[in-house]
Amino acid sequence: MIFLDVNVFVYAARDPDAAEPAPPAHDLILAVAGERLDAATSTAVLEELWHLELRGRPAGLSGATRAAYRLMTPLLPVTDATVASALEVELELDLDGLGANDRVHVAACLENGIETIVTADSGFEDASGLRRIDPLDARAMRELLPSA
């Protein structure tokens, strides 16, 4: 099981008919949709995506939150225990590069036994107990994705 951070959905939302090749995140989402890869995300990630979509930046996110919700439901909840765990994680780990929501993501992963997070946010490198895979790293993504 892997955890998908918000930037995966943002990168995957690019127009697949655009002149540029689709980013590896697009293939990742297709693998999850095809049930070839087990992935989860949380209510906090979807809230971040919705915030970006409603703000209109970056462009091209219209409908992305609804599509991500349909794909990823059931979402990992962010409960009182998750927040308490995030506050404890803050004390136990050196997470200076991570904001509040990212610390909640770490706690959600640890609570659910998830050891891999796919995120472009390099601040997760210091999150002990989590392996970070950059969705923009084509080689790392090829290793993660199952063969079609």
**pTM assigned to the model:** 0.90
Whether pLDDT at 137 is above 70: yes
pLDDT value at residue 4 = 98
pLDDT tens figures, 9-53:
999 986 555 545 567 888 899 999 999 999 999 999 999 999 999
pLDDT value at residue 126 = 77
Cis peptide before 74 (omega within 30 of 0): yes
Burial pattern 98-127, b for ≥16 Cβ within 10 A else e, equals beebbbbbbbbbbbeebeebbbbbebbeeb
What is the percentage of the chain residues whose pLDDT exceeds 90?
Answer: 59
pLDDT value at residue 60 = 86
Question: Please, what are the domains in the chain?
Answer: 2-144 (3.40.50.1010)
Whether pLDDT at 114 is above 70: yes
pLDDT tens figures, 49-78:
999 999 988 888 999 999 999 999 999 999
Say which residue, 133 or 125, is predicted with more confidence. Answer: 133
